[in-house]
A and B are shown apart, each in its own frame.
Chain A
Amino acid sequence: MTMGASSRCVDSTSRVPATAGRVVVGIGELAVSDRAGEIIVTHALGSCIAVCLFDPVAGVAAMLHFLLPEGAINAERARVQPATFADTGIPLLFQSAYKYGLDKRRTIVKLVGGAEVGEPDRTSFQIGRRNALAAKNLLWRNGVLVKAQDVGGHTARTVHLTVQDGRLQIFHGREEIREL
């Protein structure tokens, strides 16, 4: 795979115009890139999960920002915007990345998000936790182990995934809190 091929936001066009070198992924969206100078970014990860892929040999990075575990609750939305759900979005993420030369066996997978917004208790739906479990279940059943994760807690996160080296940075607001 030659470097410098175009990166595209697959499945849904990002509403935020991409500034030079940045590809922004919104809720229910995904992106794949093999452009060394680019960073894939997603903001305001609350209970949602960002599934981040990086193939160091092919030089391909990809990110999915999904909202809910299963598309069965809204079949029409799952059809029109499959990246909204874990069970439709994660397969689509991998299939999209394969077109850029990503090899599942080499791919480094990281998960971020799944926060509980508001005070968690046993009566709340705990969607963040369910999203994280759904992602892990799907990945495991498709023969993929997670390399690292930063999930849970109560704070929204912003994620930067660097295409050149797969570096994954996590921010609260503008403050970097962790590199995964």
Chain B
Amino acid sequence: MCSLRLPEAVFGPGGEAAMRSAVDDVAERSFFVMADACDDARFDEMAASHANWLTAVVRFDEGSCVGEVSCTLPASLAASLFGAFSGRDPDDPAPGTDELVDLVGELANMVCGSWLTRAANHQTFTLCAPKVTSWSGGWACAPAAERGLTLSIDELPFVIGVRVDVISDPSAATPSLA
């Protein structure tokens, strides 16, 4: 399982644990699912069978620290999470593209905000509106930067990526792409 490389000067030693806690909280409270740890081999195996994916990126800005959190998942998982979040009856029409984009964006918004509240509660961050993109062609077409924390939800792949650029703290690590 890949891990996140986070500057300790901003997030302390518990930044990654805070992300894991945030994802668990979002998954359970809003979507009634558990996000399970997943090693790279298992993740690749699950990812191989999905052609259509979505990625939502939420940029955060605190002035001295800017970055982004991404959530990437196959469209089938997005549809399943849509049903859980909205309380959609299985007999209702399937969600359209706009609804899935909204859902994935809100998912990333909640993961990012919950993580920052845990990892850097002493700071106030501004979150930008999520930017959601989708692509076909499978996981192989995913940007390399998207692989960070690999998880599975209901036996479907889910990955969190974090990028942090510390601007004004000279003791911080160089900007990293997790």
A binding-site residues for B, Cβ under 8 Å: 122, 126, 129-130, 133-134, 136-137, 140-143
12 contacting pairs across A/B (C-beta < 8 A) = A126-B34, A129-B34, A130-B34, A133-B28, A133-B32, A140-B87, A141-B83, A141-B84, A141-B87, A141-B90, A142-B89, A143-B87
Residues in chain A near residue B32, CB distance under 8 A = 133-134, 136-137, 140
Give the distance in Å from the alpha carbon of A129 to the alpha carbon of B32 in the complex. Answer: 10
State how many angstroms separate the Cβ of B18 from the closest Cβ of chain A: 15
Whether B34 pairs with A133 at a CB distance below 8 angstroms is yes
- For the A-B complex with A137-B33, A142-B89 known, give 15 more contacts whose Cβ atoms are closer than 8 Å: A122-B37, A129-B28, A129-B34, A130-B34, A133-B28, A133-B34, A134-B32, A137-B32, A140-B84, A140-B87, A141-B83, A141-B87, A141-B88, A141-B89, A143-B87
Closest 10 interchain pairs by CB? A137-B32, A133-B32, A140-B87, A141-B87, A136-B32, A137-B84, A122-B37, A133-B28, A130-B34, A133-B33
Give the distance in Å from the alpha carbon of A55 to the alpha carbon of B176 in the complex. Answer: 57
B binding-site residues for A, Cβ under 8 Å: 28, 32-34, 37, 83-84, 87-90
Residues in chain A near residue B88, CB distance under 8 A = 141
Residues in chain B near residue A140, CB distance under 8 A = 32, 84, 87
Residues in chain B near residue A134, CB distance under 8 A = 32
Instruction: Report whether over half of chain B's contact residues are helix, strand or loop; otherwise say mixed.
Output: loop
Instruction: Report whether over half of chain A's contact residues are helix, strand or loop; otherwise say mixed.
Output: helix
Give A70's nearest chain B residue, CB to CB: B154
State how many angstroms separate the Cβ of A114 from the closest Cβ of chain B: 12
Residues in chain B near residue A137, CB distance under 8 A = 32-33, 84
Residues in chain A near residue B34, CB distance under 8 A = 126, 129-130, 133
Give B86's nearest chain A residue, CB to CB: A141
Give the distance in Å from the alpha carbon of A134 to the alpha carbon of B28 in the complex. Answer: 10
Give the distance in Å from the alpha carbon of A129 to the alpha carbon of B28 in the complex. Answer: 9
Give the distance in Å from the alpha carbon of A140 to the alpha carbon of B87 in the complex. Answer: 6
Residues in chain A near residue B84, CB distance under 8 A = 137, 140-141
Give B85's nearest chain A residue, CB to CB: A140
Give B32's nearest chain A residue, CB to CB: A137
State how many angstroms separate the Cβ of B106 from the closest Cβ of chain A: 17
Give B90's nearest chain A residue, CB to CB: A141
State how many angstroms separate the Cβ of A136 from the closest Cβ of chain B: 5
Residues in chain B near residue A143, CB distance under 8 A = 87
Give A140's nearest chain B residue, CB to CB: B87
Residues in chain A near residue B83, CB distance under 8 A = 141
State how many angstroms separate the Cβ of A124 from the closest Cβ of chain B: 11
Residues in chain B near residue A142, CB distance under 8 A = 89
State how many angstroms separate the Cβ of B90 from the closest Cβ of chain A: 8
State how many angstroms separate the Cβ of B140 from the closest Cβ of chain A: 29
State how many angstroms separate the Cβ of A111 from the closest Cβ of chain B: 12
State how many angstroms separate the Cβ of B29 from the closest Cβ of chain A: 10
Give the distance in Å from the alpha carbon of A16 to the alpha carbon of B67 in the complex. Answer: 61
Give the distance in Å from the alpha carbon of A20 to the alpha carbon of B37 in the complex. Answer: 49
State how many angstroms separate the Cβ of A64 from the closest Cβ of chain B: 18
Give the distance in Å from the alpha carbon of A137 to the alpha carbon of B84 in the complex. Answer: 6
State how many angstroms separate the Cβ of B109 from the closest Cβ of chain A: 20
Give the distance in Å from the alpha carbon of A126 to the alpha carbon of B83 in the complex. Answer: 23
Give A134's nearest chain B residue, CB to CB: B32
